[in-house]
Amino acid sequence: MFFDLKDHELLGIVNDVLHGEDAPNLKSLLTPYLHPHGIKEMAATRGLRIAYAVVKMFRSLERDTVEERLRTLQALREEIFSSSEGNLRKNTARVLLQIMKELVRAGDDERKLSLARDFREAATGRPRAIARQLDRFHLVKMPEEWNQIAFDDHVHDANTKGRKSATHLIMDAWIKGIRRLRVIYYNFLSPEVAEELLRAAEIMGVNVRLGLELTPRFRGRYIRLIWTPRGFTDTRDFLGFVRQPEVQQFMAAGRVASEYQQVYIFAILEAFNRAHRQAINQLFGIQMPTLAAGEFLKLVGSGQPSLHHLAKLIHDQLVPLFRERLEGLRECCACGDEQKRRAAEELATRMNSLDIETIIDDYLRPAKNPNIHNPFVPSPDDGAPPLLRLSLEELLDRLERLHTRHRITLSLSGLWAVDVLELLYRSRGRITRLEAFNFKDAAFGRCPDNPRILELQSALNSGNAVRLKRNVIDLVFSAEEHEELSEDQKRTLRAILSDLESLRKYYGNTTLKSRIGTDSTGGSARVPGMGLVVVDSLPGKCRRQMERLVADNLRIPIRIEVARRRTYRVPGQREGSEPRLSGPSKISELPFLQRVFRPFNDEWVVGRYQNVPPEESNIRTLGGFASEDAKLLRLDCPEQTKVKPWPAPRYLNTNIKNLLKILLGFMPAYATFALTQDWWLLAWFGALIWFGITGIRNIIQSVLGAGGLRRTPLLHWSDYVKWNRLADSLMYTGFSVPLLDLLVKTILMQKGFGVTVETNPVALYASMAVVNGLYLMGHNLFRGLPRQAAVGNLFRTVLSIPVALSLNFLIGFSLGLAGVPAAGAILQNWAAIISKLASDLVAGFIEGLADRAVNFRERMRDYTDKLRQLYDIFARLELQNPEAEVLSQLESPERFVCAMSMEEESVNLATIVNALDLMYFWMYQPRARHVLEGLLEEMSTEERRVFLLSQYVLQRERDISQLFLDGLVGKNFSQALAFYLHTWRDYLDDLQRMALRLAPASR
C-alpha cells in the first residue's frame, strides 16, 4: 500500500554505493557533455542519476581526487537543475539536494524510503510540496531571482578546523541560499586547496573570497588579522599569484608557524591521556582508553590540528561509552528507588552536557594545563618562528610587498576600543575592515567592547571632525582611568589625540567597512551554523516563513542599510544587445507603464552598518544550533514495545493515492447528480460526463503544450500526460459539482432569483462562470500554485461566458430542429455541464499555451547549453589544427574520426555525445523541433554549417555502437543503442529538409 517501485530502486542505488559498490551502470552517466535531458535519460531516470551523483559526492570527500569531486559537483548541478520543474526552480533544486543528503545519512531503510518518496515528490516542483520540505529542513525560501543578500564572512573548511571539504562547503552554502562567502585559512594556503574552492564556487555560482588569518604581536599578545588578496580577473589569475615564488616563500613561513602552534595540541593530547582521562573515567564510571596520535591525525585529515579536533575525538570516544553506562542507569530508573533514580538522571544530564565546547573549556584550555607552554601567548624568548614575531607594521609592510591590492580585516576578539584606535592609527589606514560581529567570539564573551568600537568606526566614517574628536577624547579619558593599561599605551593614545588630523586623513578616502561571520564549524550548541541573511532583501512571503521557522533566531546588534536597484530593459531586447527605441518602447517609458511593458532586474545594494539594539536588527542566521533533539544519550525507563506506526498518508503508493483522489472527487459529484436529477442519463452518468470533460481538458492541455499528437512517431499521446496532475484535477473538479449545479444553478439562481436558461441565460452562465473562477482560484492558492496562475484562472472564466452561451444556443437550436419538446428544461438540466465544458475548453487551450511556453523555455536552455559546447569544441579544433580545414573534415565523418589524434580523443567523444543528445532532443523532448528551427533561423551561415555538419558524425555507426558497448551510458545501454540505430537516418533527413527550407533565409 505504501511507496512505489521507483522509491525502492532509488533506495537500492543509494545503498549499493554506500556499501562500497560503485554502481557501474551509472558511473559513466557523470561523464562531461552528457546532458541531463539527453540520451542518458534512456539509461536511468533523473531521480536515480541525482541519487548517484549526491552519493558519489559524499564518497568523493573520502577517497577521490579534487578533479573527481569537481566533476561530480558539475554533473550534480546539471542534474539537479534539469529536475527542477515549475516556477520554483532554484528552491526545488535546494530541496532536492538537501533531501538526498538526508537520505545518504539516514540509518534505517524505512526513513530512507520516506526520503526517496519526498525526493520524487519535490522533483515535480509543486509549490506546496517545496514549501513543506523547506519548512521541514529549516531552509529559508529564497527569491527565484537569486538576488538576496545572504553571506558569511568567516567560515572554515576541512583544510583548517571545519568538517567539510571545499567542494562540500560550497554545495552546503548554496543549499542554504548563501551568495557570498569568505573562507578563512590559518597562516598559509596551498594552491591545490584554493583551486578546488574557487572552481567549486564557479560551478555553483557562489561569490567566494579567500582570507589568510595572521597573528602579529601587539602589546604582549597576538591579535588576529585576515588578509584577503583582491583584484584578480579569474581563478587562473589568482592561482598564478599564489604560485609566485615570493608568495610561496611567505606560505612556507606560515606553514612553519602553524607547525609551531600545533606542537601545543599534541602536548595537550598527552596531558589529557595522563590526567584528564582518568578524571572523566572516575566522574562517569567508565573506562575510556588512551587516545592514539594516529587516530587523532586521521580525524584531522587535511586540516590543521586544533583543540576543536581533539575535543571532537574525545567526544566521539565518549558517546558509545556513555551509552553503555546508561544501560545500567536505566535499570536504576526502573527499580523504584527514588534516590537511585535521581542520581541516575543527574549523571545522564552531566553526560549530555559534555559537548565539544564543554570538553575544551573543562580539560583542554591553557588554564587547565598550566605546565604546558602556551604558544598562543607571545614572549621575547619563546622561540617562535619569524612570522609570529612580526609587529603589526612589519606584517603589513610585508603583505604590501606581496600584493598591493588587498583587504585587511581586524578581528575584534579580546580587543578594547582603545586598542582598536591605536591599531587603526599604527596601520596608517591599511586596516580596511573590522569584523564587527563574530558569533563564536560573542558566544564565548571575547568582544566586551564592541559597541564603543562600532561607535568609533561610525565616527571615523562620518567625516565629521568634531564627532571624531569627541569620540577619541572619550576613549583617551577613559583610558587614563583604566589601571590595567600601561603608561606607554596611555602616552600613545594622547599622541593620537594630538595627531587626530592624520588619523582622519588615513580614512578620508577609504571607508572602514564591516564584516560579520559565524566562525562556525557545525553541530555546535553555542555557535549557529553557517550563513546570514538581510531580511529586507527577501520577499514578504519569504520573511514570514523565516520568522515562523526561526522564532528564537539569534539577532545581533547590527543593522545593514540596503537599497533596491531596479534595471529596466527594452521589451524584447536580449541582455548585451543594443537598445532600439520604437513606438511601443517609447510608450513604455511612462512611469506607470514601465512595470507592465518593460522587463527588469532587481538587485540589492549594501549601505552602511549601524550599531542598533538587537530587536532592531535586520540580520538573521540561516544556520541553527545543535538542538536538544540531537542528543544521543537519553535516560528512558523501559516500556512495553509500542506498535510500529504506519507511514504518513502522503507515502501511499502513487497509483492507490491517485485512485483515492479520483474517488474522493467522484463521490460528491455522483451524489449531486443522483439526488438532484430526474433524468436517468444525468442521474447515473452525469458525474462520468463531468469527469470526462476534465480529463479531456487535461489531455488537450498536455498534448498542446508538448507539441501535438504528431510531434514524433516515437511517443504515444499518453506519454505527454502527467497523470498525477490529472488525478488532482479530477479530485478538485468533483467538489465543483455541488457548488455549481446545486448551490449556484438550482438554489441560488433558479429558486432564489428565478433565473433559468429560458429567462436569462446570460446571467445564469455568468454567475456560474464567476463562482467557478473563484473556486478555481481558491484551490489553486490552497495548493500553493503561483498567484499569477490562480488569478489567471479567475479571468479565464470571463472568456468562457460567450463560449457557454454559444454552446447553449447550438444545443438548443439542434434540439428544436429535431423536434424535441421542452428543450428549455433539458438545457436547464445540462446548464452546469455546458458551463463546465465551456470553461474547460478555454482552459485547455490557455493552459496548453502556458505549458507550451514552459517547454519552449526548457528547450531553449537545453539547446543553448548544447550549442555552446558544440561551438567551443569546433573552436578548439580550429586552434589545435591551424593548417587544417576542420569543416571539410566534418563533411566526411570517416576523415574526421581518423584525423583525431590520441590527445584529441576527448574532442571526438564530445562531438559524438553532443550529436546523440541533440538527436534525442529532436525525437523526444517537447517543443524541441520548434525551438531548433527558430535557432537555426537566427544563426549565421557559418554557424548553421558547423551545426549541420557536426551531426553527420552519427553516420559512424560502428564506432558509436562500440562506444555504447564500452559503457557510454552505463551497462543499461540497450534501449539507447536501439534508439540510435533506428533513428539516426530519419534525424539527419529531417535536418536536411529543414536546412533546405531555411536556405533562402540564410544570412
pLDDT value of position 227: 95
What is the 8-class DSSP label of residue 625? P
- Please give the grid coordinates belonging to residue 820: 424535441
- DSSP H stretches of helix in 141-244: 166-176, 191-204, 235-242
Q: Can you spell out the DSSP letters for 809-840?
A: HHHHHHHHHTT-S-HHHHHHHTHHHHHHHHHH
Q: Are 434 and 512 in contact (CB under 8 A)?
A: yes
pLDDT digits (tens, 9 = 90+) for 198-229: 999 999 999 999 999 999 999 989 999 999 99
Length in residues, the chain:
1003
Q: Are 231 and 405 in contact (CB under 8 A)?
A: yes
In order of 157, 237, 258, 893, the CA distances from 196 in angstroms are 11, 14, 22, 38
Q: Is the dihedral of CA 539, 543, 545, 549 positive or negative?
A: positive
Q: How far is CA 52 from the centre of its chain?
A: 18
In order of 410, 424, 461, 495, 923, the CA distances from 508 in angstroms are 19, 13, 8, 20, 65
Question: Residue 143: in which H helix or E strand, if any?
Answer: none
CA angle, residues 219, 222, 227, in degrees to nearest 5: 120
pLDDT digits (tens, 9 = 90+) for 238-281: 999 999 999 999 999 999 999 999 899 999 999 999 989 898 88
pLDDT value of position 522: 66
Q: What's the rounded Cα separation, in Å, for the pair 450 and 683? A: 78
> Which pairs from 227-236 meet CB under 8 Å and 24+ separation?
227/399, 227/406, 227/407, 227/408, 228/182, 228/406, 228/407, 228/408, 228/409, 229/402, 229/403, 229/405, 229/406, 230/405, 230/406, 230/407, 231/403, 231/405, 231/406, 235/195, 235/198, 235/199, 235/202
* Residue numbers in the chain where pLDDT is lower than 50: 574-588, 628-633, 635, 637-642, 709-711, 901-903, 1002-1003
- Please give the grid coordinates belonging to residue 945: 554549417
Look at strands 433-438 and 406-411 and give their pairing. Answer: parallel
Q: Is the dihedral of CA 266, 268, 271, 272 positive or negative?
A: negative
Q: Which of 608, 565, 728 is nearest to 661 (CA)?
A: 728
Please tell me the pTM assigned to this model: 0.83
Residue 30 CB neighbour total at 10 angstroms: 21
